[in-house]
């Protein structure tokens, strides 16, 4: 009896082993937060070679158990071998002097988004010609932060032929990333995409999980990104802003984006000043009601030891719903609310304050923390907190520190050490007036919070309800 063989055409295989064993054949369109674009922006380089030189061989599944996938060739047909971008590359960059000049250009910390998630920008216009070094530097700069949830915003405008990565290079670099880089990435926003980006995506799509696909979004203008992140984005490279303006697509923020407190409901606790909350709400020892409610809910045994507490993101829609209820004066019951939603609500409260809890006035001192000698740090931190913070800020910060110390004590279970908590809370406790911070500024902020958490007994040894001057 003659056997009929099912012949199923497979997509081409990228160099190296596939990350997912199941090949996805979905033709679903990429998630987009932008309106459909009727035309592609003009490329910064001629991409015809990408289209004409990519060759594929039709491959068929001969049985249900066995199949072959032909090699996928790019450019001149040579598959780029997997490189290990290790210490040699990093040292090569450092010795060349290029490290200092470009380390803060191609990657930048934008701040925390509306959910308190660390958000990084990568600028194509600043990519170095040596892309191996770019990969290694990016990994080293971001490694302390990717153990928690994070976002990446990729600004594609300005990519040049000299620093344009090949598709095999992108694939090999992706495979080399530690699992935490891929797992903890929450959103990848591609701003000003071109045809090159879409070609790369079409090549990668069959080999990337559905979960990762949902993380990727195209944005056609900076205004959309600003609305999504809740960040001003006022210090983007001039070249990117010029391109955005030339396309007449940026929606500039209005003058009345933040309503004056006098027009708000007295019950409002999110998006206002700490002073406003205290004046209009029953705050025992200056602690806002929603802060006390969140801390009480998270302090329960079985909750405080939840792995990834404050590191994992809660459902954004649910957090936003609770914030609106609080601002309307409704009493919310957190008993059956997901622990990560409650944690996100607390982080959101801190991030939404009209002035950071540690105030704008202390920003310059805090970012100089690492310049102080070890002998100076304890005294300087005491003086800063006890003499320069307004009393309401002092009390709320002390209350928060006492709670985070309890979280630290459960680190064996929740994995939240003082340094991990500092990374999560640092940018939510202090930021610059323009709401922009570089990685160089984030490091001392995190170190300052880490120091406070580790030395809380010494800092708050005196009467906790009385701010005596330090002699």
Domain with CATH 1.10.555.10 in the chain: 264-459
Answer whether residue 251 shows pLDDT above 70.
Answer: no
- Tokens 């802060």 correspond to 291
- Top pLDDT among 201 and 421 is at 421
* pLDDT for residue 58: 35
Which tokens sit at 414?
A: 């929740």
What number of other Cβ atoms are within 10 A of residue 437's Cβ? 22
pLDDT given for residue 341 in this prediction: 95
73/39 Cα distance (integer angstroms): 28
pLDDT 10s digits, 398-412: 999 999 999 999 999
Q: Is the pLDDT of residue 135 over 80?
A: yes
Q: pLDDT value at position 74?
A: 32
Of 98 and 334, the structure prediction assigns the larger pLDDT to 334
Q: Please name every residue paired with 219 in a beta bridge, in sequence order, or none if there are none.
A: 191
Predicted TM-score (pTM) of this structure: 0.61
Which residues does 14 contact at the CB level (< 8 Å), separation at least 6? 72, 167, 168, 171, 203, 204, 207
Rounded to a whole number of angstroms, the distance between the first and last alpha carbons of the chain is 99
* pLDDT digit string, tens, across residues 433-449: 877 777 788 889 999 99
pLDDT > 60? residue 48: no
Residues 6+ apart with CB under 8 A from 18: 207
CATH architecture of the domain 264-459 equals: Orthogonal Bundle (1.10)
User: Would you say residue 190 has pLDDT above 70?
Assistant: yes
Task: Give the strands of the sheet with 150-155, arranged side by side.
Answer: 107-112, 118-123, 150-155, 185-191, 216-219
Residue with more model confidence, 303 or 466 = 303
Domain boundaries for CATH 3.40.525.10 within the chain: 86-246
pLDDT at 260: 55
Choose among 220, 250, 222, 248: nearest CA to 35: 220
Supply the pLDDT for residue 20.
Answer: 42
Summary mean pLDDT of the chain = 75
Closest listed residue to residue 158, CA positions, set 193, 122, 124, 121 = 124
Structure-token match 């979960």, residue found? 211
Has residue 75 got a pLDDT over 50? Answer: no
Residue-level pLDDT at 462: 52
Residue 140: what pLDDT?
83
CA atoms within a 13 Å half-sphere pointing along the CA-CB vector of 238: 0
What is the pLDDT, as a whole number, of residue 88?
52
Are 103 and 141 in contact by the 8 Å Cβ rule? The answer is: yes
Q: Counting every residue, how long is the chain?
A: 471
Q: What is the mean pLDDT of residues 39-60?
A: 37
Which residues lie below 8 Å from residue 451, measured CB to CB, with a gap of 6+? 369, 377, 381
CATH T-level topology, domain 86-246: Phosphatidylinositol Transfer Protein Sec14p (3.40.525)
Q: Say how many CA atoms lie within 13 Å of 329 toward its Cβ.
A: 7
Residue 62 has pLDDT above 50, yes or no: no
- Chain Cα centroid distance, residue 382: 31
């Amino acid at each position: 009896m003659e056997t009929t063989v099912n012949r199923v055409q497979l997509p081409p295989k990228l160099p190296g082993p596939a990350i997912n064993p199941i090949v996805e054949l979905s033709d679903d369109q990429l998630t987009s937060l932008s309106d459909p674009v009727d035309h592609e922006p003009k490329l910064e380089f001629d991409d015809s070679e990408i289209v004409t030189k990519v060759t594929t061989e039709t491959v068929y599944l001969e049985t249900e158990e066995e199949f072959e996938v032909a090699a996928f060739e790019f450019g001149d047909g040579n598959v780029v071998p997997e490189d290990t971008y290790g210490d040699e590359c990093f040292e090569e960059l450092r010795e060349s002097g290029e490290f200092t000049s470009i380390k803060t250009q191609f990657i930048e910390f934008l701040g925390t988004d509306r959910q308190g998630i660390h958000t990084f920008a990568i600028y194509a216009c600043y990519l170095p010609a040596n892309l191996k070094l770019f990969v290694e530097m990016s990994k080293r700069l971001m490694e302390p932060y990717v153990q928690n949830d994070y976002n990446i915003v990729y600004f594609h405008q300005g990519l040049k032929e000299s620093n344009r990565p090949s598709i095999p290079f992108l694939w090999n670099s992706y495979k080399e990333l530690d699992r935490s880089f891929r797992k903890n990435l929450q959103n990848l926003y591609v701003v000003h995409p071109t045809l090159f980006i879409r070609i790369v995506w079409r090549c990668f799509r069959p080999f990337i999980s559905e979960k990762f696909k949902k993380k990727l979004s195209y944005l056609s203008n900076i205004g959309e990104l600003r609305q999504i992140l809740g960040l001003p984005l006022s210090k983007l490279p001039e070249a990117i802003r010029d391109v955005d303006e030339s396309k007449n697509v940026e929606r500039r923020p209005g003058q009345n984006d933040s309503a004056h407190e006098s027009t708000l409901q007295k019950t409002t606790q999110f998006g206002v000043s700490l002073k406003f909350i205290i004046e209009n709400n029953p705050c025992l020892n200056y602690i806002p009601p929603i802060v006390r409610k969140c801390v009480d809910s998270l302090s329960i045994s079985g909750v405080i030891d939840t792995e990834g507490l404050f590191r994992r993101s809660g459902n954004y829609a649910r957090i936003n719903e609770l914030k609106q209820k609080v601002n309307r004066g409704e009493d919310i019951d957190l008993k059956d609310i997901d622990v990560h939603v409650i944690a996100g609500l607390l982080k959101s409260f801190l991030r939404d304050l009209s002035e950071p809890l540690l105030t704008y006035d202390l920003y310059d001192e805090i970012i100089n923390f690492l310049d102080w000698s070890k002998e100076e740090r304890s005294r300087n931190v005491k003086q800063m907190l006890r003499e320069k913070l307004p009393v309401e800020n002092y009390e709320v910060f002390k209350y928060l520190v006492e709670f985070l110390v309890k979280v630290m004590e459960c680190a064996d279970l929740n994995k939240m050490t003082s340094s991990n908590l500092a990374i999560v809370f640092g940018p939510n406790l202090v930021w610059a007036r323009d709401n922009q911070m570089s990685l160089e500024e984030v490091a001392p902020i995190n170190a300052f919070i880490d120091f406070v958490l580790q030395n809380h007994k010494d800092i708050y040894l005196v009467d906790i309800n009385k701010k005596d001057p330090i002699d």
